[in-house]
Amino acid sequence: MGAYTIAVLGGDGIGPEVTAEAVGVLQAVAERFGHTFTFKDALVGQSALEAEGAPVSPETLGLCAASDAVLFGAVGTIDTKQSASGPKPESAILRLRKELELFTNLRPVHPFPALLDASAIRPERLQGVDLVVVRELTGGLYFGKPSEIRESESGAGARASAASENAGTQFPQAPAAEGAGAPAAGGMGSR
């Protein structure tokens, strides 16, 4: 069937373990359905900071841009050696989103029957839930680190830092719940 290159960015914490299991699942999918997956590993997050001096290197960005897909684990650790003013492992995900022009985050919601009683939500409310939450990731507070916070009649607002200025600036003009049901603009995936 198809041949695909997948960049594997295990990252930090449990990320390498999770991505290793995901690679195993993808290998089973390839075998069963006749695909060919070529996996290329690269560092990201704290491991990249320690080995390459940046949370995500230009080489890793290039690999991701040249790949058909990116399998991303997790970034961030509790590192007592890390400088408070230095680069943070978590900035890797923001840079990847920006450089690869990714603009949505898909979060499937499908509770496992065996875990319904472990939820804070009543089990009868969760039975049969099967949906996908689509989050837009291109601008405003979620995309960048705020450099200014100001108080207005409608509450506190933040201004994006100079590094993410082109990602947009967001100062609340109306209650947060307004427009919450609006669909994400621009479809899904990357441009």
Based on the domain organization, do 82 and 24 belong to the same domain?
Answer: yes
Q: What are the tens digits of pLDDT across the range 117-153? A: 999 999 999 988 999 999 887 665 555 555 555 666 6
Whether 61 and 144 map to the same domain: the answer is no
Whether residues 22 and 81 fall in one domain: yes
User: With contact defined as beta carbons under 8 Å apart, do 190 and 160 qualify?
Assistant: no
Pair (131, 177) in one structural domain:
yes
Residue 95 sits in the same domain as residue 159: no
Instruction: Say yes or no: 178 and 108 in one domain.
Output: yes
**pLDDT tens profile 165-185:** 444 444 444 444 444 443 433
What is the reported pTM? Answer: 0.66
Say if residue 52 is in the same domain as residue 79.
yes
Q: Which range of residues forms the domain containing residue 54?
A: 1-100
**Does residue 136 share a domain with residue 116?**
yes
| Domains in the chain, number | 2
Of 76, 100, 124, which closes a domain? 100
Domain boundary at 49, 70, 100, which?
100
Q: What b/e readout covers 7-38, taking b as 16+ CB neighbours within 10 angstroms?
A: bbbbbbbebbebbeebbeebeeebeeeeeebe
Regarding whether 107 and 187 lie in a shared domain, the answer is yes
Domain endpoint, select from 100, 123, 145: 100
79 lies in the same domain as 128: no
Neighbours of 93 (CB within 10 A): 21
Region label for 43, one of left (φ > 0), alpha (ψ between -120 and 50) or beta (otherwise): beta
Whether 71 and 50 map to the same domain: the answer is: yes
Check whether residue 123 and residue 174 sit in a common domain. yes
Using DSSP's 3-state secondary structure scheme, residue 64 falls into helix
Over the stretch 19-52, which tens digit does the pLDDT of each residue have?
Answer: 999 999 999 999 999 999 999 999 999 999 999 9
Confidence (pLDDT) at 136: 80
